[in-house]
Amino acid sequence: MICIKGWEGNHVFPKAVCSTLYCPSCNNTGNSLGALHHLLSVEEAKPSQLLRIWQIDERQIGSRTRRDFIEHAILEQNCLVARVDREVVGFAITDQTFYGQTFIWLLIVTPEHRRKGVATELIRVIESNCPTPKLFTSTNSSNAIMQQLLNKLGFVPSGRIDNLEENDPELVYLKRVSRNRTKRLNVSSPRSKVVYSGHISLTELRTYDVG
Residue percentage of the chain with pLDDT more than 90: 63
Q: In the predicted model, what is the mean pLDDT of residues 89-107?
A: 97
**What DSSP element (H or E) covers 158?**
strand 156-161
Instruction: Give the number of other Cβ atoms within 10 Å of residue 91's Cβ.
Output: 27
Q: Could you name the CATH architecture of 40-195?
A: 3-Layer(aba) Sandwich (3.40)
Summary mean pLDDT of the chain: 76
The answer for 45, left when phi > 0, alpha when psi is -120 to 50, beta otherwise, is beta
The pTM score is 0.72
What pLDDT shows up at residue 67?
97
Whether 52 has a pLDDT exceeding 80, the answer reads yes
Secondary structure class of 31 (helix, strand, coil): coil
- Residues 6+ positions from 188 with CB-CB distance below 8 Å: none
pLDDT band at 205 (very low <50, low <70, confident <90, very high): very low
Buried b (16+ CB within 10 A) or exposed e, 187-209: eeeebeeebbeeebebeebbebb
Q: In the predicted model, what is the mean pLDDT of residues 115-144?
A: 95
Whether 16 has a pLDDT exceeding 80, the answer reads no
Whether 187 has a pLDDT exceeding 90, the answer reads no
Whether 37 has a pLDDT exceeding 90, the answer reads no
Residue percentage of the chain with pLDDT more than 70: 67
The answer for 167, left when phi > 0, alpha when psi is -120 to 50, beta otherwise, is left
Taking the domains of the chain in order of start, what are their residue ranges? 40-195
Q: In the predicted model, what is the mean pLDDT of residues 163-191?
A: 72
d(CA 7, CA 16): 13
Whether 31 has a pLDDT exceeding 70, the answer reads no
What pLDDT shows up at residue 165?
92
CA nearest 92: which of 59, 50, 45, 23?
45
What pLDDT shows up at residue 85?
85
HSE, side-chain direction, 13 A CA sphere, residue 51: 1
What confidence tens digit (pLDDT) does each residue in 74-83 have?
999 999 999 9
Angle between helices 67-75 and 50-61 (to 10 degrees): 140
Q: Which of 7-21, 71-85, 90-104, 140-154 has the lowest mean pLDDT?
A: 7-21
Q: Which of 16-25, 118-127, 175-184, 186-195 has the lowest mean pLDDT?
A: 16-25
Helices in the chain by DSSP H: which ranges? 15-18, 50-61, 67-75, 118-128, 144-152
What is the Cα 88 distance to its own chain's centre? 10
- Contact call for residues 34 and 24 (beta carbons, < 8 A): no
Q: Which residue has the higher pLDDT, 26 or 104?
A: 104
